[in-house]
Structure 1
Amino acid sequence: MSATYRLSEHTCIEPLVNQWMAWWLTLAPIPACLNAYNFQLPLLKAYLQNPAFHEKSEREINGGSFVGVPASRAAEVRALLQRTQSAQEAGLKLAEAFEEFQAFLLTEAKGQSLEPLYQKLPEPLRGLVELVYDYNNRASIQVLEPLSYKSRYYQPQLQTLQLGALESDFDRRTFFTTPRLTQERQIEWRVPFADARVDRLFELERTPQPLGHIQELLGDAVPSEELLRSLLTEAPAPAEPEPWTGPGARVRYVGHACVLVEWKGTSILIDPVIGVRPRAGGEARLSYENLPARIDYALVTHAHADHYNPETLLRLRRRIDCLVVPRARGMLVGDVSLKLMSTMMGYKRVVDMEMFDSLPLPDGEIVAIPFLGEHGDLSHAKSAYLIRMGQEQILFAADSTNLDDTLYRNIRQAVGEIQTVFMNTENEGSPLTFTIEALFPKRRDRRAEKNRRCRGSNASEGVRLLEILGARRLYNYAMGLEPWLSHIVGPESPPDSPRMKESNTLLSEARTRGLEVAQQLRGTSELRISTEPRS
């Protein structure tokens, strides 16, 4: 009997768009054009002026715009720059036209009819946008997003999967600023993300196949049999996780904002971002083989890469029955439809929820809950989620900021007491334009933006939220403490950092006020929550 192989638990598979990590700002067609024009090309050009400086700075400075590519590979970066200018020429022209016409609107549109301005639309924008005012007569360009995916600006031929063994969590370079050049021990598979062959690849996690079958699947992407074998294993797959049938709900913290809730045979995965196990070991984690074979619902709170993560979403696509995302309104070019994007990535069932929409569970439901903050006052789609199981209600508040106590009083009135709250603490937050500078006009009053941060609740805001909702249990999560997310969220905050001090203050205040549980989550843990009514 010939040997069969499956994917090694150490194999990391990164989805790329023209060598950059796939996320909403490289996938949504018009934002991707703006990102290439205003961010990627200038960054590559800056790198080529001083490669050694970028290489050193990317490792030493968290949050800077530095390319973490060794100076010895500068020629490959130059080739990427030239390839981008050629392959995305039409998109770069669109981005330039978008920026220039938006500036034109701001000076020319003062409340009069916008109809004559359609004749002045640059050719790249024609048929893809609507010119609109708000009620204060401020004009803007509204993208007709579904059409953009059917235009020449959506280029699935630039999509690839890069397969390689992960040696250490800290080998992964910065998510946003470092393009993925192919390493010596990696396979570059050119395949559109929506292709059914992608599911066949990830079925290899549990279903071993002969080596010839795998070679045929990957085709010309495999440079050698020896390299392919290094990403596979002959070891049998771990036993399939048993569905939870015990009393109450089993809640498994997977890391950062990712939580698995199991209740009466139904599994719900919140903000799916899963860490691969590196060969060198590291912190214990729940990885792909520890998740249920079927995930009934995967809930995404917002589009940030530590919550909506194509790497994980593609790997779990065949397992997730229904992907749930917040509903976009599309008034801003960056308020992209995650439903449309996920469908274009091959998802068959995607539901975008408006606030207080609900989905049924056995003796329960999933409810979309309003979510303030985190986007620096920009109207980008977002939602917290309430999971009701019997008499128990759990709120996954993600990066919510309690900017208005009355909102939570209204939520309490609408849904009743919420006994358990998962919430982030983030009193500082990243700058408004962190990762999305490409969407802003170059000429603007930046002084007014300095205090606009993408933050969650501080301790006092969090305590008020808990009191208003009637919470008895607090789990402080999404704190960026897991090493397998450091390439996205940066290194772990030290204990004496303002953020961690604020977290400690929140936990202390919660305990003082008599909460049964006030716990900061890190790594992995398993929680049991009773769903029986209290006497």
Structure 2
Amino acid sequence: MTDTPVFLRSKVIVEPLVDRFYAWLHTVAPIQAAMNLAYLQVPMLESYVQSPQVHIAASDNPALRGGYFVNIGAERSAEVKELLETIKRERADMLRLAAAVAEAQELLRANATGFDLTPLYPKLPPELGGLVELAYDTDNQASVRFIEPLAYASQAYVESRQSVQLSLEPGTERPFILSTPRLPGPDVLELPIPFRHPGLEELFRARTTASSLGRLREALELDDAQAVRLGTLLSDRPSLSEDRHVEAGGRIRYFGHACLVLQTPEAAIVTDPFISADSSAGDRYTLDDLPDRIDLALITHGHQDHIVLETLLQLRGRVGAIVVPRPSRGNLEDPSMALMLRHMGFPVIEVDDFEEVPFPGGKVVATPFLGEHCDLDIRGKSTYWVELAGRTAYVGADSSGIDPQLYRHVRNHLGTAHYAFLGMECDGAPLTWLYQALLTKPVTRKMSKSRKLSGSNAEQAAAIMTELGANEAYVYAMGEESWLGHVMATTYNEDTYQLKQVDEFLTWCADHGIKAGHLFGQQEWRW
């Protein structure tokens, strides 16, 4: 039986975890992970242990959706308490590192007055020894620059924190990823292995190529009980879509959120891969619709809904390279996506503005990305220009039209796009929602709300189209898909400001002879 050909079922959910919290850039990159552990996750678990019912009630309140509340029933509070105690005991070095970062930044605030910074190095906490450089900008504003490659080689990067949890699509919304740890359960397979483990590549290859239970058991180093659980996640036949490849011309498919798959017979490109596993839904493209081989996966920026590790891990061994924007090199708020992905075993190409990446029959050009990051000094963000099969697509992600002249430069440099894909989440979450753990100096609520994770409003999107001159415009769904609730935690109705702005933009497009649409579910373009 262990040699029978099997495939990984299409409805398998993959959740990469770090100390049982859902993994994303800020919980994997070493310095940022320490800060999130110390100043977000531990306090949140302490709050839950003190008052589980408060968290449970808040999790059930639609008005508080997306808040930092632990959505675990009180009957399992002892397990949460045990997790908290384990983190405090086994991650003490990381907690001290986070405190050291805060101490170093306070040292600069108190002593960096424009004069020589050399005397401050001996005063830095020992946890930061050799890992940082102190520097001024030309306005004499001092900051700590982290030497990230060394952080990955230090005790700050602990692979034993990593694990993967596999289960079957439940048909219900999963708990919000930024707040609720994933506990063990009878219906999940726990894989206590790092994300780079070669067995994961073997497992996910079984979506397209037959394997066997015995082979997968050996690759993943499973015991008897784990092997039995894995067997429930396997099928004797693949569930791949027959039309997942194209025989001629070009095709773009919308897979939801900001995910596009652009294909010709020679190549396939996927943008911000975030793909449903629920092949029975019928209203979306899923993992079954992906081409067997992907030349490039384009990542626009480091937010948890755009560099989605639960999808990316399933593409390792299937993707030629992941293209990511080059960060600022050492800013606390701007960790390197390339470093993180390379430590997970991915081939990575790092690009700056207007650098080109060829692929068979076409090319990708990295283009600038404005705004959407709460005015933080983050360079790790990029839009993309994709040329294939004689047409061009501008992949705008959440880039904002705050300075429309940028898009005039893009047009002058690259020409006119046939398709423009734009993000219009124009009233996004405030600064502290995503970056609170990295802020060692408190900000006021008013300040936080003035700096939002916002894309373009109607006026800004219209300005982008005016300057870009694209023939067609399409607005991404803004977390409206029900299957994305565990990541997006957004709630809209017909009176929501963002949807009204989208309608206003679509009206503007109609008045100016531009074909346009608000994407939802699935859509396809062929030529």
The corresponding residue for 2:470 is: 471
Answer whether contact 1:418 1:471 (CA < 8 A) is retained. yes
- Match of 2:124, as an amino acid? L
Answer whether contact 1:421 1:471 (CA < 8 A) is retained. yes
Candidates 518, 521, 529, aligned match of 2:519: 521
1:10-25 residue pairs with structure 2 within 5 A? 10-25=11-26
1:71/1:520 Cα in 2 relative to 1: closer, same or farther (>3 Å)?
same
The corresponding residue for 1:235 is: 237
Answer whether contact 1:261 1:268 (CA < 8 A) is retained. yes
- Match of 1:234, as an amino acid? D
Please give the alpha-carbon distance, in whole angstroms, between the structure 2 residues aligned to 1:85 and 1:289.
Answer: 41
The answer to whether residue 166 in structure 2 is matched with residue 163 in structure 1 is: yes
SS at match of 1:130: strand
- Match of 2:392, as an amino acid? Q
The corresponding residue for 1:41 is: 42
Q: Identity, % of aligned pairs?
A: 37
1:300-319 residue pairs with structure 2 within 5 A? 300-319=299-318
SS at match of 1:450: helix
- Match of 2:230, as an amino acid? L
Answer whether contact 2:475 2:519 (CA < 8 A) is retained. yes
SS at match of 1:251: strand
The answer to whether residue 124 in structure 2 is matched with residue 121 in structure 1 is: yes
Answer whether contact 1:240 1:293 (CA < 8 A) is retained. no
Structure 1 position 264, deviation (Å): 4.7
Structure 1 position 469, deviation (Å): 1.3
Please give the alpha-carbon distance, in whole angstroms, between the structure 1 residues aligned to 2:93 and 2:412.
Answer: 52
Please give the alpha-carbon distance, in whole angstroms, between the structure 1 residues aligned to 2:387 and 2:168.
Answer: 40
Structure 1 position 224, deviation (Å): 5.7
1:146/1:236 Cα in 2 relative to 1: closer, same or farther (>3 Å)?
closer
The corresponding residue for 1:483 is: 482
Answer whether contact 2:10 2:239 (CA < 8 A) is retained. no
Please give the alpha-carbon distance, in whole angstroms, between the structure 2 residues aligned to 1:317 and 1:371.
Answer: 27
1:5/1:365 Cα in 2 relative to 1: closer, same or farther (>3 Å)?
closer
Answer whether contact 1:388 1:394 (CA < 8 A) is retained. yes
The corresponding residue for 1:323 is: 322
1:164/1:107 Cα in 2 relative to 1: closer, same or farther (>3 Å)?
same
Answer whether contact 1:106 1:138 (CA < 8 A) is retained. no
- TM-score, normalised to structure 2, is 0.95
The answer to whether residue 141 in structure 2 is matched with residue 138 in structure 1 is: yes
The corresponding residue for 1:102 is: 105
Please give the alpha-carbon distance, in whole angstroms, between the structure 2 residues aligned to 1:309 and 1:95.
Answer: 25
1:211-360 residue pairs with structure 2 within 5 A? 211-220=213-222, 223=225, 226-238=228-240, 243-247=245-249, 249-277=250-278, 281-282=280-281, 284-347=283-346, 349-360=347-358
The corresponding residue for 1:80 is: 83
Aligned pair count? 523
The answer to whether residue 377 in structure 2 is matched with residue 376 in structure 1 is: no
The corresponding residue for 1:26 is: 27
SS at match of 1:68: coil
Please give the alpha-carbon distance, in whole angstroms, between the structure 1 residues aligned to 2:226 and 2:272.
Answer: 36
The corresponding residue for 2:193 is: 191
Please give the alpha-carbon distance, in whole angstroms, between the structure 1 residues aligned to 2:444 and 2:227.
Answer: 56
Answer whether contact 2:114 2:140 (CA < 8 A) is retained. yes
The answer to whether residue 452 in structure 2 is matched with residue 450 in structure 1 is: no
Structure 1 position 217, deviation (Å): 3.4
Please give the alpha-carbon distance, in whole angstroms, between the structure 2 residues aligned to 1:292 and 1:195.
Answer: 24
The answer to whether residue 105 in structure 2 is matched with residue 69 in structure 1 is: no
1:238-262 Cα offsets, whole Å, 9 max, x none, are: 3665532323x20010111000001
Structure 1 residues without counterparts, runs of 5 or longer: 531-535
Please give the alpha-carbon distance, in whole angstroms, between the structure 2 residues aligned to 1:526 and 1:266.
Answer: 17
CA RMSD of superposed structures (Å): 1.8
- TM-score, normalised to structure 1, is 0.94
Please give the alpha-carbon distance, in whole angstroms, between the structure 1 residues aligned to 2:167 and 2:384.
Answer: 35
Answer whether contact 1:276 1:484 (CA < 8 A) is retained. no
Please give the alpha-carbon distance, in whole angstroms, between the structure 2 residues aligned to 1:36 and 1:313.
Answer: 23
Please give the alpha-carbon distance, in whole angstroms, between the structure 1 residues aligned to 2:14 and 2:255.
Answer: 19
Structure 1 position 59, deviation (Å): 3.1
1:152/1:474 Cα in 2 relative to 1: closer, same or farther (>3 Å)?
same
Answer whether contact 2:266 2:361 (CA < 8 A) is retained. no
The corresponding residue for 1:533 is: none
1:145-173 Cα offsets, whole Å, 9 max, x none, are: 00000001100111111111121141x11
Structure 1 position 375, deviation (Å): 0.2
Structure 2 residues without counterparts, runs of 5 or longer: none
